[in-house]
Structure 1
């Protein structure tokens, strides 16, 4: 028994005429009769009561026509869902993101993606830096929205740059150094620093340390909060200064905070969309395409230079 046989049976059952059913199916009447006879043999029941004047469904036939229609409809839906998934228009996409670094573009991205692909189930998970990287490695995520500095040593992970960012000294507006156009290294060497706790954010912690060491001093870390929002509050309260990416942090930072750009190539960072190289989820490129649109909107509103869409990386294996 196959779907085609069921379709032939339903066609005859709806018309109660083998000749009309054959014309509709573009088959010969004998071919239709053979298919019905084979179906009745497989089921070991009579589906039609036939004589020279009429064709009627038997009691078994009346039951089976309902079941056959259900099977056909279910089969068509299964095929449609499978094709949707294969083309990226169905299925599930699991996206992980950092607690603060994506809030300026993620809402628009999610809204646009769900509007364009309502059949794709989008699962969003906020993770710490370390947990996000681990989820990517294990294949628990399809896409991770993070900073490229956190992916340098993860094998078999590819990423696409969403936009370029630059690290800044961040301090309260009333700090003695807040009105300086740029800061000399000696001016901040003795400053207390607030940095994210290394347990949840090892990459930002190490990156801040490296930036300072590259400029000739070891920072004095006085506070190690677990969330960027708390870090910004501590800086605004005068507990110390911090080093944070400008475009990623400025949109939701208090207007009472001053950002002073760091010079040097090592102060350049990237917000990226990352995925495991072996991941073949067809919804990934659809999400990346929508991400470019959301980022372009963000760039226009913040005065960011356009990012290079072809700037794609693969860490060494």
Structure 2
């Protein structure tokens, strides 16, 4: 029975893709047959990600020969070799790597345009694309979203977590309408608007194995000799620099023994008692039973969250979202 169902699904997808191909082919003919359409870019991305013409062809329900012809057509149009082919493997070239990044952005924008068009057709009056960096922003973002959805239930919200670099790039390119991140990390964007919504005290996070794990609070100078685990500069240059400067303002030079690229790794290192770190106080409820938090007295460490957007964004619901955020936190 399951084989029959799978066969039906396979044939259904082939029919759908066949009709899509007919539509796109007509567009190709209208433009002289030389248009590098979205379909070709999707084919290229699949080959680049799988490094296999066979796997990519199966993903799109076409033959391997047809897939090879499509990639050859792109290479001919660009006059650039995108893949090194041998009998045993396929490798993407340096030029192919560059083209892959650009192709992904084009396809993402196309899919976003399709989604917005379909939303209007379905009766959805608008949407907002929101990006955020990490758990520091989650509690704040949750309250704003809950309040917004009460007032504007017909507006669709798309929410995604990403690193600071990607958030900044996608805000600039219009993929995100609004982003939430640690203060100072989003800069160098023309017409950027931002406000600080929250500034909260930092706590020291230590392993349950740490000799001071049972302490309720400590003076800032008492932690000067600790080994520190911090998120690396790649996770946020300004945040990293701010942490070091806050330690100096507290009267000591931090001994950083680990620089990690994710909060999960940071917490794992703390659990293993490889060092201590700082977290916003709002994250206390999210800590597991393998770590403890200690309040820091007379410290300069804090975490501020900013909301950023582009001034000339024409999305009418951004202003309404910002108004609610200001009512709750500003």
Q: 1:141 to 1:241 in 2, by over 3 A?
A: same
**2:220–2:296 contact (8 Å) kept in structure 1:** no
Deviations 1:110-139 (A, max 9, x none): 455445434323222211122212222333
Q: Does 1:270 align with 2:310?
A: no
Q: Which residue of 2 aligns with 1:238?
A: 273
Distance 2:162 2:153 in 1: 25
TM-superposed CA distance for 1:142, in Å, is 0.7
Q: Flag the structure with larger Rg.
A: 1
Paired with 2:326 and 2:285, the residues of 1 have a C-alpha distance of: 19
- 1:42-191 paired onto structure 2 within 5 Å: 90-107=125-142, 109-114=144-149, 116-151=151-186, 156-178=191-213, 179=215, 181-185=217-221, 187-191=222-226
Equivalent residues of 1:172, 1:237 under 8 A apart:
yes
Structure 1, unpaired ranges of 5+: 1-77, 297-306, 310-317
Q: Any conservation in 2 of the 1:98–1:129 contact (CA below 8 Å)?
A: yes
How many residues of Structure 1 are paired with residues of Structure 2 in the alignment?
Answer: 209
**Higher helix proportion (structure 1 or 2):** 2
Residues 126 and 184 of structure 1, relative CA distance in 2, 3 Å threshold: closer
1:194 and 1:234 in contact (8 A); partners too: yes
Judged with a 3 Å threshold, the aligned counterparts in structure 2 of structure 1 residues 104 and 93 are, in CA distance, closer, same or farther, namely same
Cα RMSD, aligned residues only = 3.0
Unaligned runs of 5+ in 2: 1-116
Contact 2:220 2:298 in 1 (8 A): no
**Normalized against structure 1, the TM-score is what?**
0.56
Distance 1:196 1:167, change over 3 A: same
